[in-house]
């Protein structure tokens, strides 16, 4: 429950442009977790259960810090616990915008399970190598998700304020930064892959499998970044169904179908690895066409023009 509450509170703060306090609270809770782990496990020798207790306490601390920020400071979004009421129209909007993202993440997780099951058929070394690579990839994935979340908040705020020029400029800048940063990290992983993977498991066969995956995927990170950025922009513009269906088709249906069919004729693990950049490319093409051709922003422009014409 602490994780759910923390994500809700952080979502509120980030929605109003406050990303510093959630970061500070996360750092504090992480440090507290480390200290309590050392104290409970290393000092008191309470065993494995105490590590779980330390995690729970640190999560509760992060929730408490967020709650203090939301309730004790005079802000337009100040939370008054006594005034909390069930509001059906608001709930409908939350479900309308939040449910597609939840469904999307669940479907992608299922697709990744199918991918992992195919990797497992190549043996323990392949499993360990891909697991080690996924940890390295996680570091590259973090800034991509951060840019996507920031763009979603930025687009939503500026569309609400009718600052359409700022939306266009901010979107271009955000996509460019995310794509360039992702590709730089991809280049680093491509060339430093064996050394990075060896940090988690130095067994030669494990490093070999992880390196082979890095060679196939790393240079395509810009496609992953582009897809996530456009998805964040669409959510900020209230078009949450667009990224859900796009990723459902490309990252789930196409990915599973590609692996299932091709691996019968080419029984190599590279087939599984290549499914990721292939489906990233497909989703990027779909998003690019929608981004350039659809009226996700122009509808707001026309509405603004009509309102100005009526006022004149």
- Does residue 197 share a domain with residue 67? no
- Is residue 148 in a domain? yes
The count of domains in the chain is: 2
- pLDDT digits over 113-148, tens only? 999 999 999 999 999 999 999 989 988 888 888 889
| pLDDT over 90 percentage in the chain | 54
- Is it the case that residue 209 has pLDDT exceeding 90? yes
Query: Of 8-12, 71-75, 221-225, which one has max mean pLDDT?
Result: 221-225
217: containing domain: 88-304
- Is residue 312 in a domain? no
Q: How many helices (H) and strands (E) does the chain have?
A: 12, 0
Tell the residue number behind the tokens 């809770």, with chain if given: 29
- Is residue 112 in a domain? yes
More confident residue, 14 or 64: 64
- Does residue 169 share a domain with residue 72? no
- Is residue 17 in a domain? yes
- Does residue 256 share a domain with residue 114? yes
Q: What is the pLDDT of residue 212?
A: 95
- Is residue 193 in a domain? yes
- Does residue 264 share a domain with residue 140? yes
- Is residue 25 in a domain? yes
Mean pLDDT of 166-176: 92
- Is it the case that residue 163 has pLDDT exceeding 80? yes
- Is residue 202 in a domain? yes
Quote the CA–CA distance of 120 and 129 in Å, as a whole number.
11
- Does residue 77 share a domain with residue 122? no
Reported pTM: 0.82
- Does residue 200 share a domain with residue 61? no
CA-based nearest residue to 238, from 108, 98, 105, 144: 98
More confident residue, 22 or 308: 22
- Does residue 158 share a domain with residue 268? yes
Q: Which SS3 state, helix, strand or coil, does residue 215 take? A: helix
Q: How far apart are the first and last CA of the chain?
A: 53
More confident residue, 266 or 306: 266
Confidence of residue 283 (pLDDT cuts 50, 70, 90): very high
In contact, 146 and 218? CB cutoff 8 Å: no
């Amino acid at each position: 429950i602490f994780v759910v509450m923390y994500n809700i509170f952080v979502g509120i703060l980030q929605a109003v442009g406050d990303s510093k306090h959630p970061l500070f609270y996360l750092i504090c809770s992480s440090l507290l977790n480390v200290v309590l782990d050392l104290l409970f496990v290393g000092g008191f020798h309470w065993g494995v259960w105490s590590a779980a207790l330390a995690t729970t306490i640190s999560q509760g601390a992060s929730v408490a810090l967020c709650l203090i920020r939301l309730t004790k400071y005079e802000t337009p979004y100040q939370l008054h616990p006594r005034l909390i009421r069930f509001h059906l129209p608001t709930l409908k909007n939350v479900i309308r915008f939040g449910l597609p993202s939840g469904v999307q993440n669940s479907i992608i997780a299922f697709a990744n399970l199918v991918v992992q099951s195919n990797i497992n058929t190549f043996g323990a070394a392949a499993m360990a190598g891909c697991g080690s690579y996924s940890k390295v990839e996680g570091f590259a994935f973090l800034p991509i998700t951060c840019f996507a979340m920031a763009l979603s908040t930025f687009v939503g705020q500026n569309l609400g304020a009718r600052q359409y020029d700022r939306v266009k400029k901010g979107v271009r800048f955000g996509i460019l930064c995310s794509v360039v940063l992702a590709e730089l990290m991809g280049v680093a992983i491509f060339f430093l892959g064996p050394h990075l993977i060896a940090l988690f498991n130095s067994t030669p066969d494990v490093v070999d499998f992880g390196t082979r995956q890095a060679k196939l995927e790393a240079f395509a990170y810009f496609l992953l970044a582009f897809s996530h950025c456009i998805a964040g922009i669409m959510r900020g513009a209230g078009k949450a169904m667009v990224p859900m269906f796009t990723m459902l088709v490309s990252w789930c249906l196409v990915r599973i179908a590609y692996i299932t069919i091709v691996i019968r004729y080419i029984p190599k693990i590279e087939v599984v690895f290549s499914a990721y950049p292939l489906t990233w490319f497909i989703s990027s093409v779909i998003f690019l066409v929608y981004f350039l051709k659809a009226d996700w922003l122009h509808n707001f422009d026309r509405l603004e023009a009509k309102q100005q014409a009526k006022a004149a």
